[in-house]
Structure 1
Amino acid sequence: MSATVEQRLAELGITLPKAAAPVANYRPTMQTGQILVVSGQLPLVDGKLLYTGKLGKELSNEQGIEAARACLVNVVAQIKGALDGDLSRVRRVVRLGGFMACTPDFTDHAAVMNGASDLSVAIFGEAGAHARSTVGVPSLPLNAPVEVEAMVEVA
């Protein structure tokens, strides 16, 4: 018998935070039919950014990977909040979008985004495998180095 999402989270030592409230005029999640869209999540840990700055300047790839993982944890918290706490309703992580605040010559976007992608598969199993886009940008809200958004199929 395969592990449940909650069991995988426990095995990974992950305790989901309370889903963050929006800080502007948007909704953190929006569902249409069986598709749940999760707005971009920053690498907040205990209400504070894990890191600030740009990849390729102030931050290493390893710090970027940690930030991407933190973003994915917050994505899962938003999913759990939208599904009234029932992560077993997730059928598939369809897509992740990753944004990296980086220097113009930074080219390791895919490696950094693997922090989120690998964690998605670790949490949801094969249902966590997804399509994705990874984009470098000049800045992100609050000087965050990474932001991750998601599209998830739910029951």
Structure 2
Amino acid sequence: MSEDRATSAVPPQGAYVPAVVHGGMVWTAGMTPRRNGQLLVRGTVGREVDVATAREAAGIAAGNTLTAVAEALGSLDAVERAVKLTVFIAAVDGFTEHAAVADGASAVLLERLGDRGVVARAAIGVATLPSGAPVEVELLAAVRR
């Protein structure tokens, strides 16, 4: 198992795995906008990070969830459909553009999965996220049997 973590395109930042497959479903860990383990965007939306940048960061994080899924299943072809997308947004008090930020994650799912990427979605405002990330995305998908 440690070999999988060492070679993962989305290396865990703690004691967990990027994705778990069980019972015909795959769940991802929360993914932030990282490349090669490095956080690309840091800050609070509405303060250091504007909505356009947060939307792009959500897309990067969503791409990381798809990478974790592809690694766990061997290919995105094994995804029957994405089911639930949750986007956490570290935002200033009074921020109300959660959906606009989360649309960046939804766009990546649609681009990479087509109709299989249409999901139920939650966009949730929070005070802080790991490593100072502005967004964190997690995905639940059904696996082809």
Q: Percent identity?
A: 36
Alignment map for 1:12-51 (pairs within 5 Å): 18-51=8-41
Letter paired with 1:87: L
TM-score by length of 2: 0.90
Letter paired with 2:21: Q
Alignment map for 1:1-150 (pairs within 5 Å): 18-84=8-74, 86-150=75-139
Write the deviation string for residues 12-70 of structure 1: whole angstroms up to 9, x where unpaired.
xxxxxx53222222222112211100010010024321210000111110000110010
Cα distance in 1 between the residues matched to 2:11 and 2:65: 12
- Conserved? CA contact 2:28–2:139, under 8 Å: yes
Give the superposed CA RMSD.
Answer: 1.4
Moved over 3 A (4+): none
- Conserved? CA contact 2:10–2:36, under 8 Å: no
Q: In structure 1, the residue corresponding to 2:110 is in which secondary structure?
A: helix
Q: In structure 2, the residue corresponding to 1:41 is in which secondary structure?
A: coil
Cα distance in 1 between the residues matched to 2:43 and 2:107: 23
Letter paired with 1:69: G
Letter paired with 1:93: A
Aligned length: 138
Partner of 2:3: none
Partner of 1:11: none
Partner of 1:9: none
